[in-house]
Amino acid sequence: MAQQNFETGPKPFAGYQLSKVPASDDTLTRVGPGTPCGELMRRYWQPVAMTKMVKDRPLRTVILGEELVVFRDGSGRYAVMHLHCSHRGASLEYGRVTQHGIQCCYHGWHYDIDGRIRETPGEPSRSTIKGEISHGAYPAIERHGLVFAYMGPPDKRPPFPDFDTLNLPDVELAPYAIHHPCNWLQVHENLMDPVHAVFLHAKMGNVQFTAAWGEEPVTEWGEIDGRAVFYVATRRVGSKVWVRFNEVLVPNFGQVGGFWAGADEVMFSRVGATRWTVPGEDNSCWIFGYRHFSEELERGGAGKKELVGYESQDMYGQTGDRAYEEMQSNPGDWEVMVSQRPTAVHALENLGHSDLGVSMLRGQLRRAVESASRDQPPPLALAPEGKITPSWTTNTIYELPAPAGGDDLDLRRRIGRMVVAEVVAAKEFDPAKRVPALKEALAGIPARALGGEEPAVPCRFVSL
């Protein structure tokens, strides 16, 4: 929070007193090699490119402050390697992809995808270079249209977190990538700010999703297992109660419920988008993710799968490609995140109760950074090897008219908590049985809530 040091409270025309801009929070915002947050990020699989962008020529990119080249060799293997050739530094973006690796265009040095040197043309037969050095390379895999890399210590590589929402029947995943010219954290923490949705997406300009977003919810935040922060926002929309339960996981993963909810009664409708906010350099980042499309998610909605892709989304305000006049008259998420300075300055903020989720996210991230700096295992969202990792994000909507002449804030709070309790408790269920079991359990919540039942929640709640 900004420390104004005014002896008798706020002063008019205080521009001069407030003109000095403090430093940013380097612990959470800097991500290069050796930085605290950068080292934490490297302990997780990170998306680095869209599969469709990895074609017959190498793709140059910057991830976690490192210049990289991404390609798929002739044998179908994906590779993520340091950009500059280990011989004399020429960029491998100009290299030639081969059947087994890549060859530098300058002197023909040939690298396999693991960084071992296959050939050093031009060197005499007695040269020992090939057996003495390695080129920087990272393990890479492809999943559902995104290429992921593990950039951390090789002996601490975790399994890939195979989330349940990436394996749902009758749900099609549309991968996308959107660049943001600002620090990663101010983009990521937007996921834990449900209050902005009421104003930015509904009340301050055109309705960007549905009018139901403009109904102010009863909101609570919580933490689960030291690795997740969530919010549950419960709205009254006419005769219905809409419970939106979103999650973020350390360090940069998040999911949000479907975007067009509010019209029909549904139980445990799953996510509208899964995403990772991946730092490029300290003042740039990417959102890599998947939009989810299914008959249930798009019921009465306006999603357009054909618009989802590279620097493109089917939801308003997610990219910076609109005319400046339109951005001013009807700003979206992209404008408000990018405009917080290249790196937001936390010391100048004045956080309120509605920022509880942002504060909790930063606190959990800071604890994870501190643990990683002590070489302790980071918090991971992983099921046993080969198993599906459960997640919680959902929209649940009940047909439940408001009580006659009364305020239903407490009722909505109980309903929201009960949804969270049931969803979190079901994380141990077999994935094939979890969804039908949860739909049945969630359907009974209104009667329990109307009876005054208070749920035994498996997590800590903080209320607005």
Using one digit for the tens of pLDDT, what is the confidence trace for 134-169?
999 999 999 999 999 999 999 999 999 899 999 998
Asked if pLDDT for residue 4 goes beyond 90, the answer is no
Element (H, E) at 196: helix 195-198
Task: Provide CATH code, domain 45-156.
Answer: 2.102.10.10
Q: Which residue has the higher pLDDT, 6 or 335?
A: 335
In the chain, CATH 3.90.380.10 covers: 164-463
- DSSP codes joined into one string, 30-64: --STTSHHHHHHTTSEEEEEEGGG--SS-EEEEET
Residue 58 contacts residue 102 (beta carbons within 8 Å): yes
Total Cβ atoms within 10 A of residue 421 = 17
In the chain, CATH 2.102.10.10 covers: 45-156
The closest alpha carbon to 373, from 28, 25, 35, 24, belongs to: 35
- The one-letter amino acid at 61: T
Instruction: Give CA–CA dist 38/64, Å, rounded.
Output: 7
Asked if pLDDT for residue 69 goes beyond 70, the answer is yes
Task: Provide CATH code, domain 164-463.
Answer: 3.90.380.10
Q: Helices (H) and strands (E) in the chain — how many of each?
A: 10, 21
Residues contacting residue 61 through CB under 8 Å, at least 6 positions apart: 48, 49, 67, 68, 69, 70, 280
Asked if pLDDT for residue 464 goes beyond 60, the answer is no
Q: Please state which of the ranges 39-53, 305-319, 427-441 shows the lowest mean pLDDT.
A: 427-441
Instruction: Give CA–CA dist 295/18, Å, rounded.
Output: 52
Residue 317 contacts residue 190 (beta carbons within 8 Å): no
Asked if pLDDT for residue 130 goes beyond 60, the answer is yes
Q: Mean pLDDT across the stretch 285-290? A: 98
Q: Which residue has the higher pLDDT, 99 or 375?
A: 99
Instruction: Give CA–CA dist 222/231, Å, rounded.
Output: 6
Q: Mean pLDDT across the stretch 70-83? A: 97
Element (H, E) at 307: none
Alpha helix stretches (DSSP H) within 330-374: 333-338, 356-373
Q: Mean pLDDT across the stretch 21-32? A: 90
Asked if pLDDT for residue 90 goes beyond 60, the answer is yes
The closest alpha carbon to 364, from 248, 273, 201, 254, belongs to: 248
Element (H, E) at 233: strand 228-237
